[in-house]
């Protein structure tokens, strides 16, 4: 294990445990694609997981894999694609270098969350180092029923507050035979909200349902056999005017969305939790922020908002977490569950990792 100033670079789970024990305050960091999550005072020693890399187990017939926390999501996606499988929640920032552990710690899911559920629904187990420096395992490596608390899910969106991830196990799905993306016309935010609401309450089982704030459109993605998709696309377009995007254009479009290429390159980026009914209010609030750009995802349950460099978010009516840029990590109304504090006390009694409020 080598050191570089206040950055430790363990190469094995055992070295990760040594790194955590080596300092009174530590924070684990991954690929650095969501830097606000790991911005802490100088007293914290940063522990990089980038050398904890590789797929440990992959059972295509069982639709499960286990990989070290520093493994790039892009590498995992490529390995799954060779066997016709994928992570349906569309991991974000894969092309930017996001790691598996960082993706779990951030709790971010892409457009595919709409139909298949988010990252939280696919995680099976974790191996991690707790605040006492112990290398522990929670959950399992296969899909099965288990009694008691599903503790691995507490690490989803935890921003490294419960422990340092060493490896993670996931279930995966077969990749659809084909995909089609429809660009549905929506002249204003009221029309977008209507399409989001109505499309969500049909038998179509849309693969993704996102809305652009900077253009007059809602984007719906469907997956399945090509012949079935042609018929389904025609049915959708009979209700909502629009057009089918060329496959190549659609693929580049979704890559841009999960890569946040629409956001300010060096600006502030945050994720807001909302409901579809709140989309008009959120859109109006975004337009009231100077230079703001926004994207509505997961059928109107998530909004991503980007501000120009140096800008910070004012008070809002919706809970949010800042992923990049300046300002508070958590803002807006936040839920404070007693069980979260109980898990924190059990896994990090001495407060070696940042607190839940940091």
| CA–CA dist 143, 33 (Å, integer) | 30
| Residues 84 and 112 grouped into a single domain | yes
| Residues 94 and 167 grouped into a single domain | yes
Q: Is residue 151 part of a domain?
A: yes
Q: Is residue 135 part of a domain?
A: yes
Q: Is residue 52 part of a domain?
A: yes
Q: Is residue 223 part of a domain?
A: yes
Residue 4, pLDDT score: 39
Residue 144, pLDDT score: 61
Residue 303, pLDDT score: 96
Residue 5, pLDDT score: 47
CATH number of the domain enclosing 254: 3.30.70.920
- DSSP-derived secondary structure letter, 66: E
**Helices 189-200 and 279-287, packing angle to 10 deg:** 150
| Residues 170 and 38 grouped into a single domain | yes
Question: pTM of the prediction?
Answer: 0.92
| CA–CA dist 74, 97 (Å, integer) | 7
Note down the domain range covering 138: 1-175
> Of 139, 154, 175, which residue constitutes the final position of a domain?
175
Q: Which two tokens stand for residue 102?
A: 């960082």
Q: Is residue 263 part of a domain?
A: no
| Residues 11 and 133 grouped into a single domain | yes
The continuous run of DSSP H or E covering 78 comes out as helix 73-81
* Closest-CA residue to 109 (of 99, 119, 122): 119
Strand order in the sheet with 7-9: 2-4, 7-9, 45-48, 26-29
Write out the chain's pLDDT in tens, 358 residues. Answer: 434 347 999 999 999 999 999 999 999 999 999 999 999 999 999 999 999 999 999 999 999 999 999 999 999 999 999 999 999 999 999 999 999 999 999 999 999 999 999 999 999 999 999 999 999 999 887 766 454 567 899 999 999 999 999 999 999 999 999 999 999 999 999 999 999 999 999 999 999 999 989 899 999 999 999 999 999 999 999 999 999 999 999 999 999 999 999 999 999 999 999 999 999 999 999 999 999 999 999 999 999 999 999 999 988 899 999 999 988 999 888 877 888 899 999 999 999 999 988 7
* 5 Cβ contact partners less than 8 Å away, ≥ 6 residues apart: none
> Of 228, 258, 288, which residue constitutes the final position of a domain?
258
Q: Is residue 354 part of a domain?
A: no
Residues constituting the chain? 358
Q: Is residue 346 part of a domain?
A: no
The continuous run of DSSP H or E covering 254 comes out as helix 247-258
> Of 113, 142, 175, which residue constitutes the final position of a domain?
175
| CA–CA dist 286, 353 (Å, integer) | 33
| Residues 110 and 44 grouped into a single domain | yes
Residue 3, pLDDT score: 40
| Residues 155 and 225 grouped into a single domain | no
Q: Is residue 71 part of a domain?
A: yes
Angle at 332 (CA atoms; ends 349, 157), nearest 5 degrees: 45
| Residues 134 and 281 grouped into a single domain | no
What is the domain count for the chain? 3
CA-based R_g, the chain, Å: 21
């Amino acid at each position: 294990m080598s050191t570089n100033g206040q950055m430790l670079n363990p190469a094995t789970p055992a070295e990760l445990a040594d790194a955590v024990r080596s300092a009174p305050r530590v924070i684990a960091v991954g690929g650095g694609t969501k830097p606000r999550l790991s911005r802490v005072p100088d007293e914290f020693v940063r522990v990089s997981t980038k050398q904890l890399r590789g797929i440990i187990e992959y059972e295509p017939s069982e639709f499960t894999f286990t990989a070290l926390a520093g493994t790039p999501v892009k590498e995992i996606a490529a390995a799954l694609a060779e066997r016709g499988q994928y992570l349906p929640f569309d991991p974000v920032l894969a092309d930017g270098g996001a790691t598996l552990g960082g993706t779990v710690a951030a709790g971010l899911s892409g457009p595919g969350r709409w139909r298949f559920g988010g990252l939280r629904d696919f995680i099976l187990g974790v191996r991690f180092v707790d605040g006492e420096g112990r290398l522990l395992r929670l959950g399992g490596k296969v899909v099965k029923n288990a009694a008691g608390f599903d503790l691995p899910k507490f690490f989803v969106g935890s921003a490294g507050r419960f422990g340092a991830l060493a490896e993670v196990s996931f279930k995966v799905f077969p990749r659809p035979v084909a995909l089609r993306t429809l660009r549905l016309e929506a002249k204003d935010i009221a029309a977008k909200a209507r399409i989001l609401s109505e499309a969500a309450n049909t038998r179509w089982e849309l693969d993704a349902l996102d809305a652009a704030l900077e253009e007059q459109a809602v984007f719906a993605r469907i997956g399945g056999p090509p012949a079935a998709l042609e018929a389904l696309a025609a049915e959708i377009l009979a209700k909502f005017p629009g057009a089918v995007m060329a496959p190549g254009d659609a693929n580049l479009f979704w890559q841009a969305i999960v890569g946040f290429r629409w956001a300010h390159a060096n600006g502030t980026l945050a994720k807001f939790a909302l409901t579809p009914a709140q989309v008009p209010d959120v859109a109006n609030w975004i337009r009231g922020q100077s230079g703001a750009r926004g994207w509505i995802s997961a059928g109107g349950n998530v909004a991503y908002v980007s501000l120009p460099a140096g800008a910070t978010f004012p008070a809002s009516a919706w809970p949010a977490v800042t992923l990049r840029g300046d300002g508070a990590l958590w803002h807006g109304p936040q839920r404070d569950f007693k069980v979260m504090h109980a898990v924190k006390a059990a896994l990090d009694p001495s407060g070696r990792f940042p607190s839940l409020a940091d």
